[in-house]
Structure 1
Amino acid sequence: MPPTLTLPPWKKKISEWLQEDYYFLPEKVKKKYLTTGVGHAGGCMFPHANEEQLTAICRFFLWAFTIDDSFEFSTVAELQTIRKKAFTHLRGVVPGPVDPLYKHLPVLREELLRLSSLEWLNRFNASLDIYFDGIQQELPFRKNLVFPTWNQFLDIREKAVNVYPLVNFAELITGIVLPDEVVLHPALQEIGKLTCRILSWSNDYFSAHMEKGNDVLNLVLMIEHSEMCSFEEAYKRAVDFHNRDLARYCFLLETLPDFGRYSLAVRAYTENLSLMIHGYLNWTLTLTKRYKVDTAGHPSSELKNGQLSSNV
């Protein structure tokens, strides 16, 4: 008899979620989500997270991947339905049985409240709401393959990359919920914004080869189109674009204001943001098959041709 393969604990947990709770996904998609390395993504991006924190982070990652991959070509009405249902569960108001697509959200809410506070959860929900704004604004450009203006692109990409909730997680794992007057300081707001942009440009760099001809909301493709340069030259200019944002990010970290008794917590928070950026690169380059065309690790082809219903 062949030997029985033993999955690592994180992969076993995610495999159980996929088989038991995400049963409505096609089998091929579930296998691809295993090769995505959701646990690796969480561990690489949040190396200081404990097991309970990492479980909540990975629970959110898997749900967010499913939403993003399944509904990127949906209608505005369908996205509004998903948005409404998601926040009904995340705010603890569930009028009846939970649809399978949202089954993990009430659990996630309880996990996050144990780890933080209602104040923090409200900020997390506001960040997720920004994401829904972004993907709704993407629709007409993506469906019609029409390039936006640069101002439109920068605004939409910052929102639709769905990094603002991860910025919240970087605060969560410090174990200290920062007050609004600290989190809303202009320096920290700009650092959060730049974190979203830096991860957007990294994602666009690694996925442009898959999206060319199928999408327009990608930095490399925007540069190629607007500057009328070659695809290879657009890649080089995208790196310069990324590096300018990174330089500003580093400057802000080096010149943080004094936050008094919260200064140490703010330093831990911003250190987690930097680790998140480094961790994303490590995960993308070495631990996931999501962006590798030769292994067909991205589930978009299966989901694009048969979008899940928002009423799953």
Structure 2
Amino acid sequence: MQPILTLKQWKKKISEWLENEYSFLPEKVKKKYLTTGVGHAGGCMFPNASEAQLTAVCRFFLWAFTIDDSFEFSTVDELQIICRKALAYLQGTVANTDEPLYQHLPTLREELLQLGSEEWLNRFNTSLAIYFDGIQQEIPFRKNLVFPSWDQFISIREKAVNVYPLVNFAELITGTVLPDEVVAHPVLQELARLTCRILSWSNDYFSAHMEKGNDVLNIVLMMEHLEQCSMEEAYKKAVAFHDQDLARYCYLTEHLPDFGTYAAGVNAYVQNLSLMIHGYLYWTLTLTKRYSVGTTGHPSGELKDGKLSVNV
């Protein structure tokens, strides 16, 4: 079922979230998030989502963008506090909050439980914890502009890109919550990892021009550093590595094991993963200004120091 709201209505909804629940953000940042196209991102990546499902997706997107952009140069201690509090709200151990940074999370929890189950939400929360582990591991490399080893980079980037929760959403919007033992199958686990990597390499490709000299955790910059090559050549090497992962992903999707009574649910889930990958590229190439240089692009300039008028 397609979303009932028009694009104009989605933009209005997200604008209201920004004005009310995200009033702590600088006005310039709120304007940039409007040009990011959060509603477009959700719709492109999850075209099969209902209005209720897409509302939960976009609510999470906006919160995740805020965390990622605001605290990428934060401290491990601060990130641990944010992770602990966020999971407490999503797990329901804390019901309500007056803390601006977490105002959306109790609502998000209720929406997700209506759409899925406690079992699914536990997996989602585990994915979010993986993300926080990844961005904590990024900090010493990013702050000191020191390149990690290749193996360190791959491990950290897979987690810090924050795609595992989106992989969970790809399952949720099928309308069938798969049992833990099905989701834990090695083939589905590898597809989840490859989805994270493919979206990560795509993100890095589009953002390398902004991150050069300011960051090291980008596959293009890693290639340039490790191979001692030009940026132009590094882009080509990054694409080649992306294409290897994509080839493996395609092979696995075409040779899925027999999941018996869960076969239809698994097939729908995997189809949604593929739509998510395609949708991300379409959103990036045609609908968002997040990777543009200038006043409508990424809010990194306003949030680089991670200093907001809000406590973590």
Structure 2 length-normalised TM: 0.96
Distance 2:309 2:226 in 1: 36
The match for 1:126 is 126
Distance 2:8 2:68 in 1: 26
Q: Secondary structure at the match of 2:167?
A: helix
The match for 2:238 is 238
User: For the Cα contact (< 8 Å) 2:56–2:111, is it kept in 1?
Assistant: yes
Paired amino acid for 1:223: M
Shift of 1:239: 0.5
User: For the Cα contact (< 8 Å) 2:75–2:139, is it kept in 1?
Assistant: yes
The match for 1:170 is 170
The 5 Å alignment of 1:199-238 reads: 199-238=199-238
The 1:310/1:80 distance shift into structure 2, 3 A limit, reads farther
1:264 aligns with 2:270: no
User: For the Cα contact (< 8 Å) 1:205–1:220, is it kept in 2?
Assistant: yes
Shift of 1:296: 4.2
The match for 1:71 is 71
Distance 2:196 2:119 in 1: 22
Alpha carbon RMSD of aligned pairs, Å? 1.3
Deviation digits for residues 114-159 of structure 1, max 9, x if unmatched?
0000000000000000000000000000000000000100000000
Aligned residue pairs, count: 307
Structure 2 unaligned blocks of 5 or more: 1-5
Paired amino acid for 2:235: Y
The 1:46/1:144 distance shift into structure 2, 3 A limit, reads same
User: For the Cα contact (< 8 Å) 2:73–2:306, is it kept in 1?
Assistant: no
Shift of 1:97: 3.7
Structure 1 unaligned blocks of 5 or more: 1-5
Paired amino acid for 2:241: F
Identity %: 78
Shift of 1:67: 0.2
The 5 Å alignment of 1:1-312 reads: 8-94=8-94, 97-305=97-305, 307-308=307-308, 311=311
Paired amino acid for 1:99: E
Structure 1 length-normalised TM: 0.96
Distance 1:84 1:182 in 2: 28
Deviation digits for residues 162-202 of structure 1, max 9, x if unmatched?
00000000000000000011100000000000000000000
The 1:95/1:311 distance shift into structure 2, 3 A limit, reads farther
Distance 2:108 2:97 in 1: 16
User: For the Cα contact (< 8 Å) 1:78–1:310, is it kept in 2?
Assistant: no
User: For the Cα contact (< 8 Å) 1:71–1:308, is it kept in 2?
Assistant: no
Distance 1:310 1:223 in 2: 37
Shift of 1:305: 3.7
Deviation digits for residues 60-97 of structure 1, max 9, x if unmatched?
00000000000000011111111111011001122764
Distance 1:21 1:164 in 2: 25
Shift of 1:19: 0.3
User: For the Cα contact (< 8 Å) 1:289–1:295, is it kept in 2?
Assistant: no
